[in-house]
Every structure is written in C-alpha cells, then in structure tokens.
Amino acid sequence: MLVWTFVFLLMITSGFLSQNHPGQSVAFWREACNQNRANSCLVWVGKLATNCRRGSADACVALGEAVQAGQVVPKDQVRAGEAFHRGCELGSEAGCEALATFIRERGDQQLTRACDQGDGISCWIVASIYADGKVVIADYRRSIQLFARSCDSGWFAGCGRLGESYLHGQGTTANFVRAAEYFDKACEGNDALSCLNSAAMYTKGIGVLADTLRARRRLGQACGLGMLSGCRTGERTE
C-alpha cells in the first residue's frame, strides 16, 4: 500500500490526474484518514503542507493542529508553531489564536531550542513573533538578535528582516549601510521582498551609492521570484 500511495502522490503532483479527480481533494484524504485507510493520514497532512506553502491559511491551521496533536502523524511542536505562524501571517484569525495559545503553552521554548540547534526558520519565527507584537508584547531588541541568528544559519528571510530592523531602527540604532548590506545578502539568497527593498535603496541612494543599473537588476530578480510589484516597477523604470 505504501508503494501505491507514493505512486498516487506522484500522479497528483505531476498533473496526471485531472483536477476533478477526488484524489486531488484535501477532504477526500481527510475522510480516508478518519477511516484509518493505510497511509492516508500521511497523504492528507502532506497535501495540507503543500496548500499551506501555496498560501492557504486554513490549510496552515489544520496542519498545525494535526502535527501538534500527534494522533495521525508524529507529534512535532516546532512544525506546529511554524504552521500556526504562517496561518497568522496569511491573515487567519484562527491561526493567530492558535499561535497565541501555542506561545502561552510555552511552544516558543520548543522553537528557541530548535533555533539554538541551528534551525534558521525557528529563529526567524520566534523573532517575527516578537517583532510583530500580534500575540505577545513586541520586543524589538530580542527580535533583532534572533533575526541575526536566523540569517547566520542561512535563512535568508531572516537577513531581510534584519535589514528592515536596521532600516527602521527597531531594536537597534538605524543604520542604512547595514540595512542595504542585509537586503543585498537576502536578495542573493532569493528572498523576493529583499530584492525589492534593495532596489529601492539603489534607486534612492540610501546606504549605498545610487545605481540605476543595479536597481533594475534587483527589480528583475524580485519579479523572477514572483514579486509582481517588482515587475510593474521594472516596467516603469525602463
């Protein structure tokens, strides 16, 4: 059955099955999981993870609940925190409430331990929680330390948020030169928003010498990474 499940997943992701096939539906696999069909729970959670990455806040919340409960898949508090945070970021009130409960139950300590072990995304999530101030009181000084650790661990979104901290003076003295450096680093690591921020710095000559050609290059990178505002801005600068 495990081999068939793998083949079926491959058929789904490759587009071999039509979008109308019931196997494309999250609800189909959730029901199969409820009926304890072999490996269906793994497929259901896998589809939730895919939809969460694609921007479904509801899928993120459901994913967090599934891996936090540990009843149909192995329990994973770190992954649960990541999923709830993503759902909250996507504007889900349920996601923010789940994240707040996660923090009250000391889930942030699980993320911090993962951060201490070099997990850059965990550092970034805890940093974001304290920077955003949505579910806890904002602590910019703590957030910038964690963003730095995230960046050092190779999580380039952390480098980008570190650049924003230096740009706006959150948790540190404003430093446009360092902000530009971190935006550059994050952009080279394929963080789309940082490419857009880097382009703005080069366009306006903030923290760097004004450089129209480099600004256009950064806009092109942002566009190529799916940041549509970079595509539109690039068209206007031609």
- Complete DSSP assignment for 83-144: HHHHHHHTT-HHHHHHHHHHHHTTHHHHHHHHHHTT-HHHHHHHHHHHHH-SSS---HHHHH
pTM recorded for the entire structure = 0.75
Is 102 or 12 the better-scoring residue by pLDDT? 102
Quick one: average pLDDT of 195-215? 96
Is residue 202 a part of any domain in this protein?
A: no
Q: Which of the four pLDDT bands, split at 50, 70 and 90, describes residue 25?
A: confident
Is residue 45 a part of any domain in this protein?
A: yes
Is residue 145 a part of any domain in this protein?
A: no
3-state secondary structure of 214: helix
Q: Containing domain of residue 53, as a range?
A: 1-105
Residue 22 confidence (pLDDT) above 90 = no
Is residue 7 a part of any domain in this protein?
A: yes
Most confident segment among 33-42, 62-71, 104-113, 155-164: 155-164
pLDDT in tens, 121-136: 999 999 999 998 888 8
Please report the pLDDT score of residue 18 as a whole number.
44
Q: Which of the four pLDDT bands, split at 50, 70 and 90, describes residue 24?
A: low
CATH number, domain containing residue 24: 1.25.40
pLDDT in tens, 99-116: 999 998 988 898 999 999
Please report the pLDDT score of residue 38 as a whole number.
65
Is residue 48 a part of any domain in this protein?
A: yes
